[in-house]
Amino acid sequence: MNDYLDIAGVKISNRLFIGTGKFSSNAALKEVLSASDAQVVTAALRRIDMTSKDENILDYIPKNCRLMVNTSGARDCDEAVRIARLAKAAGCGNWIKLEVIADNKYLLPDNAQTVEAAKVLAKEGFAVFAYMSPDLSTAKRLVEVGVCAVMPLGSPIGSKRGVKNAELIKILIHEIPVPIIVDAGIGYPSDAAYCMEMGCAAVLVNTAIATATDPVAMARAFSLAVQAGRLAFHHAAESQSQFANPSSPLTGFLHENT
């Protein structure tokens, strides 16, 4: 089955997106990206140095991976727009993971400022992937201003607490016409599989892979989990039952000869 994610004019077969922070080295990141067959990778602009003669993170990203620069560090609309424009001018393309975070304790996105920044960037031709706290009204506004994907957090970024916002994310999946990509808080491959089973278009994982005892093995595990969850989404039975339903008959055969 050719099950591509068609987004921003690009067909993607691997629905595991990977972040580049917290790895022990750029070489370790390269191994992870290769092992997982990831096709989308996100990196903060401040970690990309085009002029470096020693080491540039872009040298470790495989050619088949599409770079999505994130606006990490932006505290309001103006800062996010400035980072996106700098990334595009530096030759990093027009895919932007839009992050606007003014809260330094919980690192929760500022939904209102995110909408304002998305409106500006979408008009300028950016493919905007908007990171947000799951809220239906905000998601609808993001779609109205032209984002190509909505990225609700599963739980606080870097926490590895799993998909605590599952019920809110399910609402977005059912009501929002653009891809829903869960970002932040995913701690285990089972979390990623759960997101895909719900009907998410993709997941973005960083901390759970980068901080694993064996990041390469964990990247493979996440890639397989995403595939399994997607298959389950397509082929699982739709209904659940409140009562037990035996797979074999429980009556009749014990008394057939009496």
Catalytic residues: 97
Question: What 3-state DSSP class applies to 12?
Answer: strand
Helices (H), 37-188: 77-89, 111-123, 136-145, 166-175
Provide CB contacts within 8 A for 150, sequence distance 6+.
130, 132, 139, 142, 143, 172, 176, 178, 179, 180, 181
3-state secondary structure 169-210: HHHHHHHCCCCEEEECCCCCHHHHHHHHHHCCCEEEECHHHH
Alpha-carbon distance 120 to 194, whole Å? 34
Tokens 């690009």 belong to residue: 10
How many angstroms separate the Cα of 144 from the Cα of each of 9, 80, 138, 147, 161?
19, 19, 10, 8, 31
The pair of structure tokens assigned to 230 is 């997607």
User: Which helix or strand (DSSP H or E) is residue 217 part of?
Assistant: helix 215-235
| Residue type, position 119, single letter | K
Q: Is-contact 153 172, C-beta < 8 A?
A: no
